[in-house]
């Protein structure tokens, strides 16, 4: 019986610890697709991404990857070259200026149902003493060009360090970090990682991702809380 109170205290502390750990696990809030379902756009105009990273290659890299997942999700996506030439013909070359155009004006020029606005938050390879990685983070929002209403928004990140096992001595980790930084910088790893980020961000069927378009067999069968 001497150990009775001690065992009870230990059990209480363990229960409290598990409760605190459980409180740290959060379930993503289900996205409200009401506006998206009502609008159901069939065509999407992808605007040149605004680059908020130090790497000047981010805009063109993300733009080159953005159309494929949208097309595979069942949407007609306006060709990048056509869109670029149209903006240039109208004296618009800066993504930030293009993002400021009124939805009605974009609708008038292209006839698209919706426009996708992308912002690149992180892009490139960074070195952090014993670790190096190439990371790309982007945010996007889909706007109905017929009404100006936002239909959807999301964000995604991809990194070359995903799944890394950083076991080993300090010297080995330092060497690995330096070598990775050199290789990934030379090999334009950022462009590859941007493709992964774009796929996670713009592919239908992802948790809280965009809905399938009318060219997909999954059209109007999606949009559950977590698919």
Tell me the pLDDT of the chain (227 aa) as tens digits.
445 545 544 544 444 444 444 444 455 688 999 999 999 999 999 999 999 999 999 999 999 999 999 999 999 999 999 999 999 999 999 999 999 999 999 999 999 999 999 999 999 866 554 456 788 999 999 999 999 999 999 999 998 776 655 544 444 444 444 444 444 444 468 888 999 999 999 999 999 999 999 999 999 887 543 33
Which residues are within 8 A (CB) of 205 and not within 5 positions of it... i.e. 6 or more apart?
Answer: 73, 212, 218, 222, 227
Report helix, strand or coil for 159: strand
Domain positions in the chain are 28-202
Give the pTM. Answer: 0.76
* Domain 28-202, CATH: 3.40.50.10610
The closest of 225, 191, 206, 224 to 73, measured between CA atoms, is 206
């Amino acid at each position: 019986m001497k150990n009775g109170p001690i065992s009870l205290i230990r059990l209480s502390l363990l229960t409290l610890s598990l409760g605190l750990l459980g409180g740290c696990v959060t379930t993503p809030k289900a996205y409200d697709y009401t506006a998206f379902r009502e609008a159901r756009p069939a065509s999407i105009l992808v605007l040149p991404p605004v680059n908020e990273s130090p790497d000047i290659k981010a805009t063109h890299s993300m733009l080159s990857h953005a159309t494929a997942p949208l097309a595979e999700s069942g949407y007609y996506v306006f060709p990048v070259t056509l869109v670029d030439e149209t903006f240039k013909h109208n004296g618009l070359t800066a993504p930030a200026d293009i993002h400021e155009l009124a939805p009605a004006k974009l609708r008038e020029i292209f006839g698209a149902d919706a426009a996708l606005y992308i912002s690149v938050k992180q892009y490139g390879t960074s070195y952090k003493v014993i670790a190096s990685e190439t990371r790309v983070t982007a945010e996007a929002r889909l706007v109905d060009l017929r009404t100006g209403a936002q239909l959807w928004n999301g964000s995604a990140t991809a990194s070359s360090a995903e799944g890394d096992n950083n076991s080993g001595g300090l010297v080995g980790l330092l060497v690995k970090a330096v070598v990775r930084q050199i290789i990934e910088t030379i090999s334009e790893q950022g462009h590859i990682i941007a493709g992964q980020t774009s796929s996670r961000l713009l592919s239908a069927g992802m948790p809280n991702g965009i809905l399938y378009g009318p060219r997909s067999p999954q059209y109007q069968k999606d949009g559950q809380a977590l698919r």
